[in-house]
Structure 1
């Protein structure tokens, strides 16, 4: 199983795949941060840990069922002259769910403090509902990740090890990212907009319209840089005002 340990090319594949899994996990962390932020403070670490653990277990199970996963790309039926596969259906449903969820969160954010506090209190009593929602989207996010892994590595152990590395990094990053998003309302709104964008990409992918992920991540990175500059400018302005 570990015959690749002496193969430099396999180590390069492991490194590349690990980085890719971490990048592909960014949207997962954003989604987990948004949902866990609506729970009670004591429940938030549990939601993040269970959510990421669920993502890890889902990906491992899918990797161990590679032959089944690859059958998902085979056409099931045809609609308007286009073949629809199991993967397409999963991406469509997952993308629509993500768009709906993010849109509802934006709506609650814009309703006002009272409505938001009521929604937060209600969500605070539903840790396992939140974890269930996270795991549903994990399946969608994991599907593309696993198919990508199959295309980049030949050994299942390399794929699993890359996911372990990605999980460790995401566990370390989940709490700081969640706390940062909670401290800055504009960042939270931006994160919700990212989820709508990601959901739209999933729907487009499910309908056979491939959008290179590099474009999406470049747009997200640019937006984050602009927002960080805004936060820094605001902090500098507040320091100047306080010093007067």
Structure 2
């Protein structure tokens, strides 16, 4: 029963006694009782509302996942490997002893000069390959440093014609003086002409002191940039005929 219904009920109770006269005392007493109830109900509702809010707040607090505890990430592990070793020459390393004379090229790098010389080599299973041609440097005190060696890997190192040709392979970041294109020819060559970049370039020649048929040749860097591959090469005899 709501408040209005209760008020009407109180009014009807007085009417039963005096139809024409309202019992104001009864009405006021019942009205005060209802107001007290309403106030209590309102306070209870407010208290309930606060309780609900608090419980929700507590519920939210309880439902929030706990803050993760800071953890120290595991240290990264890696295989303990040192940097790739770059082959270097130690003082104890013996340069291969030249076979025959050392050929001077006239190309200089400060106090050093580019030189060419043949050295003994051993190719397994190839008994007829016994020499290799080195592009090296000679210091002012005569010490030799080999930069590049070329040799056959099969057949005979004295067969007529051109043998292996060496090119500069220092890459985009040179680690030493550039190596001119070089090689050797077996036969009565008096002139060697290379073709590169649509140009004909003459090589310099020197005869090996141990065998006059072996002609060591190289191209001057000013005429053929080191590393530029040859498109062709020919050897000519004293009469200009191709060998």
TM-score tier, shorter chain, comes to under 0.3
TM-score (norm 2): 0.21
Higher strand share: 2
Which structure ranks higher in relative contact order (CA pairs < 8 Å, sequence separation ≥ 6)?
A: 1
TM-score (norm 1): 0.21
